[in-house]
Structure 1
Amino acid sequence: MAKAAAASPALNPVIVIAGPELYLRNEHLAAIKATLFGKDDPGMGLVRIDAKALGGAAITAILDECRMPSMFAPQKLVIVEPADMLFKKGGGGGGDDDAGDDTGDSGRNRELLENYIESPTETATLVLVCTNWLKTTRVHKQLDKLGAVKWCDPIKDAQAPAWITKRARDAHNKQIEPVAAQRLAELIGPDLQRLDNELAKLSLYEPDAPVINVKAVDDLVGFQHEQQIWDMINALAARDAKTALKKIDELWALDPKIEYTVSGAIFVWLGQVLKARELVDRRMNDGMITKELKLWPPERAAKVLTLARAWGLAGAARWSQEMLAMDVANKSGLGEPRRNLERFIMTLCET
């Protein structure tokens, strides 16, 4: 077996970027480009190919492109995105995934790729970007042995704070308080692109501060769309389902990924009502409760106290538990988050 020659001292000649997380895909592609071209414009050295557009001869055309030296660049980067259809059941069968586009015999495609991996072109790096990638094929075993499969799976909710901490340090040269990382994760969820965008803004919020604290997260991130969220919560407090659902429509129109921010705000509100009821039962007066819970502005404080008295301790605890159950359902993939929230609103308002 011929030894695979490297297109670059730091890169394998064939790389697979596999998984649905677009942010991680882009990060890997950016790192590969930087390794090959540095800060220079890749120009004619960068070739992008859509395998679907090439039809049944796709793999042959892709490998021919890799073997053809670039007239204008010493190194060539060939990116095939998406590349899934090369390995799906097609014209010749033998595929590993769902039935897909007719891009030729997937078994033959793998065989041609296996042969190329054993004797690659020294001046080209081939990158295959796939949403799905099987670990049971010979191609995978060849590439995995070389460390050439880059996985791009979404992170889970529980992994978000650790990712935030590492990203703040590595990409933005900032430390972040554990409670601030947790708060940011609760507000945004495990959406890596949005988390990185917020970290970039937070790193500039107090540029001379070495640490991002929870106050900065609340000031800059926690109160985005604050007025619309509080309008929705005020409608909930009044058991006005029509207005609350209308506000949900407005919030989702502003930001389709706002579910974590909205759910977090409702959790905070319900927690305030529950805690206020506990303090009422301890015979604290309204002024002391407002100060203790930092309820502001006064009209919101009044509404929290009114609900605390109307619901009682059992009622306040019930809605906190209902909200927690909805959050667990969302994180378990049971129903669509927006629909779950709308059902919660209807249940609360109709009770």
Structure 2
Amino acid sequence: MAKLTVKPIYLLKGNDSFLRSSYREQAISAIVGDSDRQLCVSIHSPDAVLSDILDDLRSPAFLAPRRAVILNDADSFVTAYRSELENYFAAPSSVASLILIVSSMTASTKIYKIIAKIGTICDCSCPKDPRKVTKWIAQAASKRDKTINTQAARQLLEYVGPDLSALGNEIDKLAAYVGDSSEIKLDDVDTMVTNSTGPNRFDLPNAIDRGNVTKALQVLDGMLTKRGDEFAVLGLIAWHLRKTFAKQSSARSGASFRKLIQADLAMKSGTDPVSAIRDLVVSLCSAGR
């Protein structure tokens, strides 16, 4: 993230709250420096009228080199006053800078091209390339004096989704959880992070293989959303046991299949299916340790 310099207009486009906050802070610092922000920063809501914005932009700041005028969620404002803004940008104020925060703006529009010519455009959308996001995760962990390997970073991204603010919050939690350890591991992510993007059908067998009871039950609860889901989960576990049969000792694989058969019989003979499947998952996790 390159350091911003003083410009008459900054366009922050995109919905990632972390990037919005970071670029907004950089822009304000570039405009007012170390001056008292209460005296030289004006913040306007989306329902602001053009005359109020222009009055602020033409008013010299008190005890500061320039005034920063911020307009949050400005999409509707730009639509309503597009031509007036284009006229203003032709001769912008010499005593203030405007920070426009929008969800989107088409690059082919006249106003976008004018802003690109005289101001700074900051992309506040989370990168679409997962490799860039996992790189950002590693950098964020490093700022907290932690390391995180690629596999753990990918799992964190899968659980949280492409939201840098939310990812930063989870990294804070993980850094606190690992304490004096310098590394955030895959098991730490599995234990501490909730899969907010929805359960992945392979998260359950993965947790069972690692012997992570807490994570396995957490994933299981997310998979049991309606009556009958227990049997679908039983089928998934059966598939997974068959898939891993060759990798396990005959004694261990045989014990796992016996537990599976016992759970299947219990569910078909009147035992509460949810209780039966939870008991099976706990038992398999214990065997996997």
TM-score w.r.t. the length of structure 2 is 0.67
Q: 1:112: Cα distance to partner?
A: 2.1
**Do the aligned partners of residues 193 and 45 (structure 1) sit closer, same or farther apart at CA in structure 2, a change above 3 Å counting?**
same
Q: 2:227 aligns with which of 242, 246, 249?
A: 242
Deviation at 1:194, TM superposition (A): 1.5
Aligned length: 242
1:164 aligns with 2:140: no
Q: 1:110 aligns with which of 83, 86, 89?
A: 86
Number of the residue aligned with 2:170: 198
1:302 counterpart residue number:
259
Q: Secondary structure at the match of 2:48?
A: helix
Q: Which residue pairs with 2:62 in the alignment?
A: 71
Q: Which residue of 99, 120, 127 maps to 1:155? A: 127
**Cα RMSD, aligned residues only:** 3.9
1:18 to partner: Cα distance: 0.9
* Correspondence list, 1:214-225, <5 A: 214-221=186-193
Counterpart of 2:75?
84
Offset of 1:11 from its aligned partner?
A: 2.5
**Structure 1 pair 242/16, CA: closer, same or farther in 2 (3 Å)?**
same
SS at match of 1:217: helix
Distance 1:301 1:147 in 2: 69
Q: 1:231 to 1:143 in 2, by over 3 A?
A: closer
Q: What does residue 17 of structure 2 align with?
A: 22
CA distance in 1, matches of 2:171, 2:91: 44
Structure 2: give runs of 5+ residues left out of the alignment.
195-211, 265-289
Offset at 1:107? 2.2
Alpha-carbon distance in 2 for matches of 1:175, 1:286: 38
- What SS does the aligned partner of 2:7 have? coil
- Determine if contact 1:83/1:129 at 8 Å carries over to the other structure: yes
Amino acid corresponding to residue 163 of structure 1 in structure 2? W
Deviation at 1:29, TM superposition (A): 1.2
Report if the CA contact (8 A) 2:4-2:30 is conserved: no
What SS class does the counterpart of residue 125 from structure 2 fall into?
coil
Name the amino acid aligned to 2:227: K
| 1:43 matches 2:38 | yes
Pair 1:39–1:226, CA change in 2 (3 A): farther
Do the aligned partners of 1:273 and 1:305 also contact (CA within 8 Å) in 2?
no
Q: Distance in 1 between matches of 2:239 and 2:123?
A: 43
Q: Matches of 1:270 and 1:75 in 2, distance apart?
A: 66
1:126: Cα distance to partner?
1.2
**Would the alpha carbon gap of residues 66 and 243 (structure 1) be closer, same or farther in structure 2, given more than 3 Å must change?**
farther
Query: TM-score by structure 1 length?
Result: 0.57
Aligned: 1:185 with 2:164: no
Structure 1 spans left out of the alignment, 5+ residues: 1-7, 89-102, 246-265, 308-351
What CA distance in whole angstroms lies between the structure 1 residues aligned with 2:29 and 2:258?
A: 53
Q: Is the 8 A contact 1:21 1:152 kept in 2?
A: yes
Deviations 1:31-52 (A, max 9, x none): 2234455677511221012353
1:52 paired with 2:28, answer no
Q: Structure 1 72/194 Cα, relative in aligned 2: closer, same or farther at 3 Å?
A: same
Note closer, same or farther for the CA distance 1:304–1:128 as it changes in structure 2 (3 Å cut): farther
2:12–2:100 Cα contact (<8 Å) kept: yes
Alignment identity in percent? 23
Deviations 1:219-265 (A, max 9, x none): 322688864543454x58xxxx33859xxxxxxxxxxxxxxxxxxxx
Aligned residues of 1:276 and 1:304 also touching (Cα < 8 A): no
* Residue 115 to residue 213, structure 1, CA distance change in 2 (3 Å): same
Tell me, what secondary structure is at the counterpart of 2:70? strand
Contact in 2 for aligned 1:87/1:109 (Cα 8 Å):
yes
Native 8 Å contact 2:12 2:123 kept in 1: yes
Residue 277 of structure 1, aligned match among 242, 255, 268: 242
